[in-house]
Amino acid sequence: MDELREKLLYQPKNGYDRIDTAERLACEEYCRGYMAYLDAARTEREAVSEAIKLAQAAGFEPLDESAGAIRPGQKVYWSNRGKSLLLAVGGRKPMRAGFVVEAAHVDSPRLDLKQQPLFEDSELGYLRTHYYGGIKKYQWTAIPLEMHGVAALKDGSAVEIVIGRDKTDPQFVVTDLLPHLAQDQMQKTMAKGVEGEKLCILVGSVPYAGEGTDRVKLAVMSLLNDRYGITEEDLISAELEAVPAFDVRELGLDRSMIGGYGQDDRVCAYAELAAILETEAPERTAVCILADKEEIGSYGVTGMTSQAFEWFIERLCGGTCTLQESFAESFCVSADVTAALDPMYPEVSEKQNTARINYGVGFCKFTGSRGKSGASDASAELVARLRRLCDDAGVVWQMCELGKVDQGGGGTVALDMAMRNIDTIDAGVPVLSMHAPFETTGKLDCYMTYKCMKAAYAEG
Ligand code: MN
Ligand code: MN
C-alpha cells in the first residue's frame, strides 16, 4: 500500500527535507545578494538604478536603437524613464522563434507626497500624502519613515532627494492616537480607524526666528532649500515617496526568513535579474522586465500595459520579423509574489491549495477574484511545461491559489502579457504580511524562485 501511495498520491514536502547542505549554502549566498539589493532599492527608481549597476558589472550595455536585431549572446538593457527596466540576452534562435520573458514589478505600496504637501498646524510642520497601492492604513502610523524621490525643476534638471537612509539622517513619522484617548477611534472598523487624509508626515517643530505666521513651515522649507536648492513651488513637480525605514534583516532564531519593506515584488524582480545576469547565449532570447505601476493597475507609460514593451521588443527584432510573429511563439513567467498560509489567520485560505513558507516557488494558474474574474488563467499545457522545467532543474515548487474562494483575490501583470498573445503563467515567492511596511519571506522560497527563473531562461 505504501508503494501505491507513493506512486499515485501527490505528497508535497517541506523544501528543507528536499535539499542538501551544498544547496543550503547556495541558498544563503543567494539571499545575501538579495538582501543587499532590497536594502538599497527602496523605490521603483532605486530598484532600476541598482539593477543597472549590477547589469553593467555583468557586461550588459545600453540598447543601441539602430543596431538591428539582437545577436546571440549580446546583452542589452533599456531604462524606461528611470522607473522601469528591460534587459535581454540574445538567443541562438532568431526573434521570430519567440523569446522567454520574465516580468516582475519594482513599485511597492507607500505614501506618496501630494503635489502641494507642506503645511503647519499648531506649530508643527507636516507633509500631506496620498497613499499608493493597497495598504492597511493603520500599519503606516508610528513607524520610522524615509523620504526618497526627485524634484523636477523648470529648467529641465532634476534633484534627487533621499532623507533618512543614512544613519546620521533624521527620519519621519505619521503619529497615532494614544490608547488613553482612543476610545472613539477603537470603536471604528480597521478600515476607518486611520483615514487617508490623516496620513500626514511630521517634518518639523522649530519656528523660523522672528515674527509672523507659518514660521515652522518656513523653517522646514528653508532646510529643504539649504539641502536641495528647491522652493515650495518645486514640490509641485516632485515625486517624493515616504517608505518604511526598517533595515532588511534575517528573521527567526534559525535565520530562515527575511524581513523587509518592498519584497512584493522586488523579491521576484531580483530573482529574474540574478537569473538573466548569469544567462549566456540561451536557445531563445531571454528578456527580463522590472515593471512599474503594477500596484495601481499597471497603467501609465512605465506600467506593463504601456507600448514601451512593444517598442523594446521591436528593437530586438530589428525588422527580421513582426512583433506579432515573435509574441505568438513566446513564453512569459509573470514573476510576482503570492500569499503564504498564515497559521494565525487560516480562515482566509483553503489549506490544500495555499502556498506555504519553505515549500518553494509558488505557481498560480490563475489570480483574480470571485469566479477567477480578472485572471488570465494559464493553460493546463503551460502548467505542465513549468512542472517539467522545474523538476528537471531540481527546483522545489508548489501549486497555489491566493486565498479561498470568494475571500478576495489579487492581480499581477500576467493578463497584460497574455493580452499580447504570449503564453503566460504566474510564479513567485509566498509572502507573509504582504503589503505591510515589513514583509516576511522564506529564504528557501526566494532561492527556489531564482532557480526557477534561471531554468526558464536556460531552457529557452
Ligand atoms: Mn506584486
Ligand atoms: Mn502587490
The per-residue pLDDT for range 290-320, each reduced to its tens digit, is 999 999 999 999 999 999 999 999 999 999 9
Residue 281's CB is within 10 A of a number of other CB atoms, namely 16
Cβ-in-10-Å burial (0-12, 13-18, 19+) of 11 comes to: exposed
CA of 25 to the centre of ligand 2 (A): 30
Does residue 368 surpass a pLDDT of 90? no
Reading the block at residue 309, the C-alpha cell is: 514593451
Centre of ligand 1 to C-alpha 292, Å, is: 10
Say what the pLDDT of residue 193 is.
97
Whole-number Å distance, alpha carbon 228 to ligand 1 midpoint, is 33
Using the predicted structure, report yes or no on whether residue 375 has a pLDDT greater than 90. Answer: no
Among 304, 308, 300, 310, smallest CA distance to 330 is for 310
- Say if residue 21's pLDDT is above 90: yes
Q: What is the pLDDT of residues 435-457, one digit of tens each?
A: 999 999 999 999 999 999 999 99
Beta bridge partners of residue 333, listed in sequence order: 102, 425
Give 108 Cα–ligand 1 centroid separation in angstroms.
8
Q: For residue range 203-225, list pLDDT tens digits in order.
A: 999 999 999 999 999 999 999 99
**Alpha carbon of 105 to ligand 1 centroid (Å):** 7
What is the whole-number distance in angstroms between the Cα of residue 336 and the centre of ligand 2? Answer: 8
What's the number of CA atoms in the CB half-sphere (13 Å) around residue 43? Answer: 24
CA of 422 to the centre of ligand 2 (A): 22
CA-to-CA distance for 251 and 258, rounded, in angstroms?
A: 5
Q: Which of the ligands is closest to the CA of residue 133?
A: 2
Q: Which of 122, 36, 52, 427 is nearest to 273 (CA)?
A: 52
Tell whether the model's pLDDT for residue 376 goes beyond 90.
no
Question: What is the Å distance from ligand 1's center to 135 Cα?
Answer: 13
pLDDT of 410 > 90? The answer is no
pLDDT for res 158: 96
State the DSSP string of 357-382: TTS-EEEES--EETTTBT-----HHH
How far, in Å, CA of 313 to CA of 317, rounded?
Answer: 6
* 242/174 Cα distance (integer angstroms): 10
Q: Work out the mean pLDDT of the chain and round it to a whole number.
A: 97
Q: Which domains does the chain show, CATH number per domain?
A: 2-108+261-459 (3.40.630.10), 110-244 (2.30.250.10)
Q: How far apart are CA 184 and CA 75, in angstroms?
A: 59
* CA of 233 relative to ligand 2 center, distance in Å: 32
What's the gap in Å between 110 CA and the centre of ligand 1? 13
Interval between CA 264 and ligand 2 midpoint (Å): 5
Three cell numbers at 4?
A: 501505491
Ligand number with the minimum distance to the CA of 106: 1
Rounded distance from Cα 238 to ligand 2 centre (Å): 24
Q: How far is the CA of 186 from the centre of ligand 1 (A)?
A: 31
Phi/psi of residue 226, nearest 5 degrees: -60, -45
How many A from CA of 330 to the centre of ligand 1?
Answer: 22
Mean per-residue pLDDT, 105-132: 98
Report how far ligand 2's centroid is from the alpha carbon of 435 (Å): 6
Q: Determine phi and psi for 401, rounding to 5 degrees.
A: -140, 140
3-state SS string for 224-248: HHHHHCCCHHHHHHEEEEEEECCCC
Kindly identify the ligand whose nearest atom is closest to the C-alpha of 103. Answer: 1
Indicate if the pLDDT at residue 460 is higher than 90. no
Is pLDDT at 398 greater than 90 in this prediction?
yes
Q: Hey, what's the cell of 219? A: 523653517
- Measured in angstroms, how far is the CA atom of residue 30 from the centroid of ligand 2? 23
Determine the pLDDT at residue 147.
98
Question: 207 CA distance to ligand 2 centroid (A)?
Answer: 40
| Cα 216 to averaged position of ligand 1 atoms, centre (Å) | 39
For range 382-405, the mean pLDDT: 96
Share of the chain above pLDDT 70, in %: 100
Q: Is the pTM of this model over 0.85?
A: yes
- Which residues fall within 8 angstroms of residue 308, CB to CB, at 6 or more apart? 80, 84, 86, 301, 302
CA 17 – ligand 1 centroid, Å: 28
DSSP states of 125-163:
EEEEEEEESS--GGGGSSS-EEEEEEEE-TTS-EEEEEE
Q: Is the pLDDT of residue 254 over 90?
A: yes
According to DSSP, the β-strands at 238-244 and 110-121 are: antiparallel
